[in-house]
């Protein structure tokens, strides 16, 4: 039996509606499939909770996260940390494979404070990285990736291996500041 043209049109519309409904249900089940993006308002709330102040307030984010960003939804936990010891910005990191990282500037009262004078090591300083054990000491040149006072743990990188543009980057690690220009990796 051949359906009439009017009936064929109704069947075609019903089939199209079923396909659209099926697509809507699968998009709701998998937000990434529909092109959904990370919730920027949620990121703003997390930064405010981390800093203890709302965006625009002293100690909080200088501004809300840029609404033009189209970040992938983060399926793992979003981590927040201070970018440096001066707490001038917050690093927001999605731990997913191929995840994203945001740097959110923090609003300070008055002029931006300079590096504290009590710091023994500043970011970019050349340092000697020393490993000490019972009866021996070995040191290697490196670079401070963070600044801090004596007794603080900071990130450092050993000097690059090789010369010129082909030289490999040194290994990154955390070390204890002993005095200006010297950091240590104490052995247990």
CB neighbour burial string for 15-50, b if at least 16 within 10 angstroms, e if fewer: eeeeeeeeeeeeeeeeeeeeeeebebeebbebbbeb
Residue in the block written with tokens 């990736």: 145
pLDDT attached to residue 136: 83
Same domain, 94 and 51: yes
> Which phi and psi angles does 42 have, rounded to 5°?
-65, -40
pLDDT attached to residue 128: 92
Could you tell me the residue range of the domain that residue 75 belongs to?
35-105
Report if residue 110 sits inside a domain. Answer: no
pLDDT attached to residue 11: 40
pLDDT attached to residue 104: 92
Report if residue 163 sits inside a domain. Answer: yes
Count of domains for the chain: 2
Same domain, 76 and 45: yes
Same domain, 140 and 171: yes
Same domain, 150 and 93: no
Residues 6+ apart with CB under 8 A from 125: 143, 144, 147, 181
pLDDT attached to residue 31: 43
Report if residue 153 sits inside a domain. Answer: yes
Cite the beta strand spans of the chain per DSSP E.
Answer: 78-82, 89-94, 101-105, 126-133, 136-144, 153-158, 172-179, 182-186
- Model pTM above 0.75: no
Report if residue 39 sits inside a domain. Answer: yes
Residue in the block written with tokens 């990130």: 155
Report if residue 18 sits inside a domain. Answer: no
pLDDT attached to residue 109: 63
Task: Give CA–CA dist 151/120, Å, rounded.
Answer: 9
Report if residue 68 sits inside a domain. Answer: yes
pLDDT attached to residue 165: 46
| CA-wise closest residue to 47 among 84, 94, 89 | 89
Task: Give CA–CA dist 74/72, Å, rounded.
Answer: 6
Same domain, 139 and 180: yes
Report if residue 48 sits inside a domain. Answer: yes
Q: How far from the centroid of its chain's Cα atoms is residue 37's Cα?
A: 17
Q: What is the pLDDT along the chain (188 residues), one digit of tens a residue?
A: 454 444 344 344 444 443 343 333 333 334 444 458 999 999 999 999 988 999 988 889 999 999 999 999 999 888 888 887 778 889 999 989 888 999 999 987 655 555 566 789 998 899 999 988 788 888 899 999 988 888 888 999 998 765 544 445 688 889 999 999 999 988 76
């Amino acid at each position: 039996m051949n359906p009439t043209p009017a009936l064929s049109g109704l069947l075609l519309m019903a089939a199209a509606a079923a396909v659209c409904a099926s697509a809507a249900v699968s998009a709701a089940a998998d937000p990434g499939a529909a092109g959904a993006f990370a919730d920027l308002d949620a990121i703003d709330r997390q930064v405010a909770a981390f800093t203890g102040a709302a965006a625009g307030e002293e100690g909080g984010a200088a501004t809300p996260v840029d609404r033009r960003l189209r970040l992938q939804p983060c399926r793992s936990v979003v981590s927040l940390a201070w970018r440096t010891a001066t707490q001038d910005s917050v690093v927001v990191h999605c731990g997913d494979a191929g995840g994203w990282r945001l740097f959110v500037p923090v609003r300070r009262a008055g002029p931006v404070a300079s590096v504290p004078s009590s710091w023994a090591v500043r970011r970019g300083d050349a340092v000697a990285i020393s490993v000490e054990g019972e009866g021996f000491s070995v040191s290697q040149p490196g670079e401070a990736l963070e600044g801090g006072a004596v007794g603080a743990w900071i990130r450092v990188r050993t000097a690059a291996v090789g010369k010129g543009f082909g030289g490999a980057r040194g290994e990154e690690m955390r070390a204890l500041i002993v005095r200006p220009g010297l950091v240590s990796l104490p052995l247990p």
